[in-house]
Each structure stands twice: as structure tokens, then as C-alpha cells.
Amino acid sequence: MATNNKFCWQKFKNGDPLAFLTLYDQYFPLLFRYCRQITPATQLIEDTIHDLFVYLWDHKQNINDISSVRAYLISSVRRRLLKEMKNESKELIVNDTEATAFEFMFDSDLESGLRQKMLELSEKQREVLYLKFYNNLSFQEIAEIMDITIDAVYKIAKRSLHKLKKKLIISGLVKGSLVVGMYVIIRLLYF
């Protein structure tokens, strides 16, 4: 899939409108879900994604080679969205009362408890877990998207999972060892 994406990206950079539409159709849902984690403002998200793709088309000749299309697009839309939110004086990351991508992923009691515990994590912790387990990105891609070192991503992921496991066990949502808790967390985040 990554090879096909790189080939499609190269065709887009060479001016192929069909390749451009293919990239747009393929990545719009992923980018939208990612942006919903940052803000519930649907119209702002759609406008930001559309503006990004218009910019890419207009500047396709000047775009440098990239190692991952997905990481590049997520990183680009993240920067644009945060800039737009700052320009419009909007609230930056969702708080406990707003809808997030995690709220749409779970629906049982355990899942609801996990969702609540996820919301207790910091913005960065939620973002790392979301990118790693929901979007299945590598630690290197996450580091590029968040503009932090790969070591920082490892530390954030490790601390986040440890904190989440501890919260689930203390709350009684998960009984048994930390290994069982870890298994439940990863399974719920992947599916």
C-alpha cells in the first residue's frame, strides 16, 4: 500500500489530476477523523482539509520528496488546523465535555470506562495513542507529525499506557495483572 501511495504521490506531483483525486479520496476520511480529535468544529475541519489539498495542487512542483504520504498529510493538516484555530481564537484541544474521536470508538461499559480514562490523559498522550493504535502509524511517523523526537514519542507512549493501565485497574474496570490490562487496552484501541 505504501508503495502504491508513493507512486500515486509521484504521479500527482507530475500533474496527474486522477492521482490527485485518488489521494484526496483515500486520505480525506483519515484526516477528518484525526482532526476530530483536535476539535469538534466539522466545518473548520473540512475547510482546512480542502485548503490543504488546494495548496498541494497549486504547489505540487515545489513539494520535496517525502518518506510517508500519510505522515506528511497528517502533519500538514495538523499544522494548518492549529494555525486556523489560533487565527480564529478557537479553543485548542477538546476538553472532557466535548466529543472526540475516542467517543465514537467505544460503546460497552468497559469501553465507556476506557474512553473516560483516555480523556483523563494529557493532550499529547491521547494524540500519541490515537496515532499509534487508531491510525497504526510508526513511532517515527508520529515523531514527524508531532514535531518531537522519536525518544519523546516512546516515552509518551510508555507513560500513557502505564497510566491508562493503572487507572483501569484502580477503577475496577480491569481485574487481574497489568498484562491483562495492557491486552484489553490495545485490543480496544485497535478495534
In tens digits, the chain (191 residues) has pLDDT values of 556 788 899 999 999 989 999 999 999 999 999 898 888 888 899 999 999 999 999 998 898 888 889 989 999 999 898 888 887 753 434 433 344 444 434 445 666 777 788 888 888 898 888 888 777 788 888 998 888 998 999 899 888 888 877 777 777 765 544 444 454 455 454 43
**Which amino acid type is present at position 76?**
S
Return the pLDDT at 98: 41
Return the pLDDT at 96: 36
Please tell me the distance from the alpha carbon of residue 13 to that of residue 43, in angstroms, as a whole number.
Answer: 28
Return the pLDDT at 166: 79
Q: What is the CA radius of gyration of the chain?
A: 18
Please tell me the distance from the alpha carbon of residue 87 to that of residue 80, in angstroms, as a whole number.
Answer: 10
Return the pLDDT at 104: 39
Please tell me the distance from the alpha carbon of residue 108 to that of residue 9, in angstroms, as a whole number.
Answer: 40
Return the pLDDT at 174: 59
DSSP 138: -
**Which amino acid type is present at position 47?**
D
Return the pLDDT at 178: 42
Return the pLDDT at 158: 86
Domain boundaries, the chain: 2-87, 101-190
CA atoms within 13 A on the CB side of 103: 14
Return the pLDDT at 5: 83
Fold classification of 101-190 (topology level): Arc Repressor Mutant, subunit A (1.10.10)
Contact 34, 135 (CB under 8 A): yes
Please tell me the distance from the alpha carbon of residue 87 to that of residue 99, in angstroms, as a whole number.
Answer: 22
| CATH number corresponding to 2-87 | 1.10.1740.10
